[in-house]
Amino acid sequence: MTIRVVIADDQPAVRDALRVTLDGEPDIEVVGEAADGAEAVHQALWRRPDVVVLDLRMPYVDGISAIRQLAGMDAPPGMLALTTFDTDEYLFGALQSGASGFLLKDSDPELLLEAVRALHRGHGLVDPQVTTRLIHRFASLSPASPAEAQQRLTARELEVLRHLAHGLSNAQMARALTIEEGTVKNHVASLLRKLGLPTRVRAVIYAYEHGLAPRRSDT
């Protein structure tokens, strides 16, 4: 199955580079381009892509506002935020607005391809350069009550959620819990469904917001 992608960036050279990278793959097709956030939303409504890759700093409607609008669509696409600016404002604003992935523009092109494919599978991907800060930021929050998750999830699903919050892969969770990797995938899918969360990235945020991951020191 071909992954349909819309790309949005106000710089033509950046759009050209993204299109060359993505269209060069046999399983990915760029079906639309946009130079601002409003056009990105229009293209997504018209083209119905699987993934939208968009810059966060664009004229008229910025990337975060566009992500928020796209998240309100019926069957919204996976949204991958790109930025040159490695700041908390952009990182957390994009993820909390509904993005499933976040990459810096100087990331390796292979990471871009990995992210697009991950989002198409319903997963999320955050640039390794900012993952530690993401975890520390949410670990510092005053958590809400974990009661909702404890009522909705099984004991095993809660374990899986806590491991997700610390960035473990399916294979690592399988080893830690002494279960099959396929069973881990089933638990992840189940907890996302029960909590109404679209991606693993949102599950990490949820876990820290609700005090379901042990606090870590920033030292």
Per-residue pLDDT of the chain in tens (219 residues, 90 and over written 9) = 899 999 999 999 999 999 999 999 999 999 999 999 999 999 999 999 999 999 998 988 989 999 999 998 988 999 999 988 666 677 778 887 888 888 988 888 999 999 999 899 887 788 777 766 666 666 555 555 667 778 889 999 999 998 887 777 788 889 999 999 899 989 998 998 898 887 777 787 788 778 776 554 433
Q: How many angstroms separate the Cα of 72 from the Cα of each of 67, 77, 117?
A: 9, 10, 22
What is the rounded distance in angstroms from the CA atom of residue 87 to the CA atom of residue 122?
Answer: 25
Amino acid occupying residue 63: G
- The CATH number corresponding to 140-209 among 2.60.40.10, 3.40.710.10, 3.40.50.300, 1.10.10.10 equals 1.10.10.10
Provide φ and ψ at 115, rounded to 5°: -65, -45
What is the pLDDT, as a whole number, of residue 197?
81
pTM over 0.85: no
What is the pLDDT, as a whole number, of residue 91?
76
Using left for φ > 0, alpha for ψ between -120 and 50, and beta otherwise, residue 21 falls in alpha
- The CATH number corresponding to 3-132 among 3.30.1280.10, 3.40.50.1820, 3.40.50.2000, 3.40.50.2300 equals 3.40.50.2300
State the CB neighbour count (10 A cutoff) for residue 24.
Answer: 10
What is the rounded distance in angstroms from the CA atom of residue 91 to the CA atom of residue 82?
Answer: 10
Rg (CA), the chain: 17
The H-or-E segment that residue 17 falls in is helix 12-23
Residue with tokens 């992840």: 188
Residue with tokens 């990182």: 91
The encoded tokens of residue 147 equal 């009661």
Domain spans, the chain = 3-132, 140-209
Long-range CB contacts for residues 200-203, cutoff 8 Å, separation at least 24: 200/123, 200/124, 200/164, 201/95, 201/99, 201/100, 201/101, 201/124, 201/125, 201/126, 202/95, 202/100, 202/124, 203/161, 203/164, 203/165
What is the pLDDT, as a whole number, of residue 115?
92
